[in-house]
Structure 1
Amino acid sequence: MNDIPSDSNDGAIRIWDWPVRLTHWLFVLCIAVSWWSAEEHQMEWHRYSGYTLLGLLIFRIYWGFTGSSSARFSHFLRGPSGVIAYLRESREAHRDAGHNPLGGWSVAIMLVLMLSQVSIGLFVSDVDGIESGPLSHLVSFETSRTLADIHEVVFNVILAFIGLHIAAILFYLLAKRDNLIVAMLTGQRRDARIRPMRPVPAWRILPGIVLATGVVWWVAA
């Protein structure tokens, strides 16, 4: 297969591939549906959104090791010295496509939080024991109820991180005139100083889809 298409226009620098962009916006949708379904006690929708979110997370983790350069954890996760250097020395020095060292860790934390939330939800039971996660039979009822409380706390932490994420987007938009939303929609930025992402063959998407589908099928079966 050919490399993942750029969907780019003349003069635009490619910074995100379409699997990253698609999973990003599906994360947004799944979290919104999960919140709504929990508030409205629509547990069937809640389960479906949880399964979908689990599949997306499995794929995104896979893609973080095999995807285009800007999608890879090795590309945007730096040690404490790298983050401190970015904050102290020159933020303008970051010219690689994708997340800066600080943003990279925020992405990693968000992925860990979402994966924790979904994983805990698999073992949760409601007060009556009627609505239960698919793996709740593996733990005691008391444990499943404790996990239900933790499930709610983790979701509140996720909401806090979403608030910080939105605040950062607004800061870049208003203070730096840098529209990160458009970049995540189109995958492009018009900045000649940025080194474009390095794409990978499109066939690499298929093992990730198979892996994600297999895990979700095993959990839900």
Structure 2
Amino acid sequence: MAAERPDPAGARSVRVWDLPTRLFHWLTVLLVAGCWATQRLNWMQWHVRLGETLLALVLFRLMWGIAGSETARFRRFVASPWAAWRHLKHLLRREPDVQVGHNPAGAWMVLLLLALLLAETLSGLYDYNDIADEGPLSEFVPPVIANAIAAFHAWGWDVLLGAVVLHVCAIAVYALVKGHNLLKPMLTGRKRLPEAIRAPARASPWLAALLMAAAAILVALLATYL
């Protein structure tokens, strides 16, 4: 493929987010909203199915964070807490957006959201199996631990929603204060960057499909035996 022609300002359009990462992001948004709605409407069968799908997506994202495209890999974008703090100190400074992937503070928000999603979906899967008496391993868990898992699933949902609100507010602050549009690249996959910045490497979509299939199989096993 021929290189894109840079504009007069020395910037060109670069694909920074691959399709699997973007699909994960927006499907997660829809599934979290669906889980919230089905819980409020007491549609528990739908709630469980959406939760299982969300768990498969989270497991896929964890694997994609190890073997996926460059901007999706944890080792490429997770910075030290000190780097995140230095970044946040300039939050109110209006400046050009030359970040290829997640910024240092955003990286820690990604880790927080993934951890909360994993904990919430796993605890929900266990809680449902424990109540429905479907998981053969449930009977080996002491009641005090089973009750603790159920309680965590209840208040963990509020913590997750709080983190989502914080994430949305951060996106708004970056748009209004710093002039950085973080939504458009996650929709289109592309971002205008200086010519000197190298385009990130992308992993094969076939690898993404294989990892998603592995995640779905793992969730099916957890739903059967947990």
The TM-score, its normalising length taken from structure 1, stands at: 0.83
1:142 CA drift (Å): 5.1
| Counterpart Cα distance in 1 of 2:90 and 2:162 | 29
| Counterpart Cα distance in 1 of 2:133 and 2:42 | 13
Listed one character per residue, the Cα deviations across residues 89-136 of structure 1 (whole Å, up to 9, x for unaligned) are 89869844110111101100110011000111122159xx86567564
Q: Secondary structure, in 3 states, of the residue corresponding to 1:124?
A: helix
Q: Residue 80 of structure 2 aligns to which amino acid in structure 1?
A: G
| Counterpart Cα distance in 2 of 1:139 and 1:196 | 49
Partner of 1:101: 104
| Counterpart Cα distance in 1 of 2:85 and 2:223 | 43
Q: Does 1:155 align with 2:160?
A: no
Where do 1:1-221 residues align within 5 Å? 11-87=12-88, 95-124=98-127, 131=132, 134=135, 136-141=138-143, 143-192=145-194, 194-221=197-224
Moved more, 171-180 or 114-123: 171-180
| Counterpart Cα distance in 1 of 2:50 and 2:140 | 22
- Is the Cα–Cα contact under 8 Å of residues 60 and 212 in structure 2 kept in the other structure? yes
Aligned length: 210
Q: Residue 112 of structure 1 aligns to which amino acid in structure 2?
A: A
Where structure 2 has 5 or more consecutive residues not aligned to the other structure, the ranges are 1-6
1:204 CA drift (Å): 1.7
| Counterpart Cα distance in 1 of 2:64 and 2:158 | 27
| Counterpart Cα distance in 1 of 2:98 and 2:209 | 30
Change over 3 Å in CA distance of 1:86–1:151 after alignment to 2: same
Partner of 2:3: none
- Is the Cα–Cα contact under 8 Å of residues 98 and 194 in structure 2 kept in the other structure? no
| Counterpart Cα distance in 1 of 2:100 and 2:181 | 15
Change over 3 Å in CA distance of 1:138–1:39 after alignment to 2: farther
- Is the Cα–Cα contact under 8 Å of residues 123 and 132 in structure 1 kept in the other structure? no
Change over 3 Å in CA distance of 1:103–1:137 after alignment to 2: same
Q: Residue 122 of structure 2 aligns to which amino acid in structure 1?
A: S
Change over 3 Å in CA distance of 1:137–1:46 after alignment to 2: farther
The CA RMSD measured in Å over matched residues stands at 2.6
- Is the Cα–Cα contact under 8 Å of residues 125 and 141 in structure 1 kept in the other structure? no
Identity within the alignment, % = 36
- Is the Cα–Cα contact under 8 Å of residues 97 and 180 in structure 2 kept in the other structure? no
Q: Residue 108 of structure 2 aligns to which amino acid in structure 1?
A: W
